[in-house]
Structure formats: structure tokens, C-alpha cells
Structure 1
Amino acid sequence: MEYSQGSLGRIFVIRLSDGEDLIGSLDRFLAEKEVASGMILFLGALRRGRIVAGPRKPTIPPESPFVQDLEGGFETFGVATVYPGEGGGPKVHIHASFGRDDQAFTGCLRERGEAYLVVEVVVFEFLGLSARRVFDEESGLLLANLKERF
């Protein structure tokens, strides 16, 4: 187990309007406000998006992920972490649930997430963490690398 201790910094409340890209908007906002590490909570609806909903088999590294495209207006709520990446700037990792009528999906939001009507976002900035998102050879993923061991 790894960990890093820090403190709470600024808190931002954001409203995205219909048609705005959740991922791109967060990337730009975090860079502009210089939020290096933090946590994001959001709720609202997405008109379209793409998620990865697990691997076909639980291998390490994961292979052949289930990719699901969302189209048509899905209610959503989710959480994300933010840590500096290897190339500089904040890197966001989003997991969320999505529902429409009798369809429900949960997964890692990737590539796009276009707001439908509104998405409300709360960003909690973390200060003083020793955390970076780095490529992990064993898993093949970009993981949070924390300095302390427990």
C-alpha cells in the first residue's frame, strides 16, 4: 500500500452547459487554475460519451476491454482523481455510472463526454501531496504513484 498526506485547498463549483465536453472542459479548467492534485465529483446528464467497462478477462495487464459508446442522453454521476502526469499538467481519471430507461452502465469515461442539459461539478484541490500519475509496466496503466509505504 502506498499513501501521501496533504491538505484541502480550494474548492470550485462548475456548471457545464448542453454540448460542452466534460473531459476537455475539466482539463482546460484544471490547467488554467493550476490544480495539480485533487478529487472531482459530478452529476447531471451526458448526451454522448465513451466508457471502458472492464476487461473481457481479469488479466494483468488487462486486454480486450469492453468499450461502450453512450448516445442519446444518460443520467450520470461520477468521481475522478487528479494528479500531475509525466508530460506535465494535471491528468484526470474518471469513473462514473450512466443510466437511461432500463440501461445502466458503469465504467471509466474516456475520450469524450458531451453534456446534455447540465453537468454540475465540484473540484476539491489537494495541497502538499507527493503524487504523480505514471505509467506502470506491470499493469500497462497510468497509475497514481505515491511516495509513502504502509
Structure 2
Amino acid sequence: MKYSEARQGRIFIIRLEDGEIVHEQLEQFARDNLIERAHLIIIGGADKGSRLVVGPEESRSLPVMPMTHELYDAHEITGTGTIFPDDEGNMVLHLHMACGREENTVTGCIRNGVRVWHVMEVVLTELLENTASRQPDPITGFKLLIP
């Protein structure tokens, strides 16, 4: 385990609107508001055609080959995530979302493009006095959080 400590900063209440791409909007919001590190929760609706990363094709194979899933219709969602800068200083949202419709639920990372269905609500809490960042890992190919 690796860890660091942070202090809570500003808290933002955000409403994403119909058709917006979640990770694009939240990363732009972070840039516009000079937010370098944050954690967040999100609820609302994801639109048909939204794409999630739902796991690796094989659990321990390298390189990691991601599986994707496309939502077949609008889904109710809840999720949680973090924003940290990568090795190039870009604000990167890492958010996992559970998407449900009737008795079906799929959970995955939103990085491939989740589109808002009417509205999503976000509570974003800025993290201060911390230097954590996402750095390239040559083994997995991921940009891993270095606390």
C-alpha cells in the first residue's frame, strides 16, 4: 500500500446536461477552475450508445486488452471517481459507474465515452496540499496513481 494525505478544498455542485460526454466536461471543469486533484460522486442517467470499459479480456495477461460494453438504451447511473494530473499535467478523470435498466446492471470505467441522458448531478470535492499524480506503468500500460 502507498498513501498520502490531503486537505479538503472547495466543494462544487455540478449539473451535466443532455448529450454531454461526462469525462470531457469534468476534465474541462477541472482545468477551468484550476482543480488539480479531486474526488467526486455522480448520479443521473446515461444515454443509449454510451461506452464503458468492463474489464480485461483475460484477467492476468499482458498487455492488458480491455473489453467494452455499449449501453443498449438509457440507464440510471451512480458512480464515484477521482481527478489527478498525469505525467504531462493533464487533468484525468478516473470514474467507475454502475448503469442499470430494469433488472440489468453493468459497471465499468467511463473513459470510452458516457453521454448524459437528460441530466447527471455531480458533487466534486477538491483535494489540496497533495502531490499525487498518474504516472505511466510500463508493465500494464496504465497511468497509475502515485500518492
| Alignment deviations for residues 13-68 of structure 1 (CA, whole Å, 9 cap, x no partner) | 00112112211110110100011001010000011411111112211545332210
- Alignment of 1:4 with 2:7, yes or no, is no
- Alignment of 1:34 with 2:34, yes or no, is yes
| Alignment deviations for residues 55-85 of structure 1 (CA, whole Å, 9 cap, x no partner) | 1221154533221011421110001111111
Provide the rounded CA distance (Å) in 1 between the counterparts of 2:54 and 2:83.
Answer: 20
Q: Determine if contact 1:61/1:140 at 8 Å carries over to the other structure.
A: no
Residue 84 of structure 2: aligned partner = 83
Residue 15 of structure 1: aligned partner = 15
Residue 58 of structure 2: aligned partner = 57
Give the AA of the match of 2:53.
V
Return 5+ residue gaps in structure 1 as ranges. Answer: none
Specify which structure has the higher proportion of strand. Answer: 1
Return 5+ residue gaps in structure 2 as ranges. Answer: none
Give secondary structure in 1 for the equivalent of 2:31.
helix
Q: Determine if contact 1:86/1:133 at 8 Å carries over to the other structure.
A: yes
Q: Percent of pairs identical after alignment?
A: 32
Give the AA of the match of 2:12.
F
Q: Determine if contact 1:37/1:127 at 8 Å carries over to the other structure.
A: yes
| Alignment deviations for residues 78-99 of structure 1 (CA, whole Å, 9 cap, x no partner) | 0111111112131111111001
Provide the rounded CA distance (Å) in 1 between the counterparts of 2:23 and 2:143.
Answer: 17
- Number of residues paired by the alignment? 146
- Alignment of 1:131 with 2:132, yes or no, is yes
Provide the rounded CA distance (Å) in 1 between the counterparts of 2:59 and 2:16.
Answer: 35
Deviation, 1:132, is 0.7
TM-score (ref. length: structure 2): 0.92
TM-score (ref. length: structure 1): 0.91
Give the AA of the match of 1:73.
A
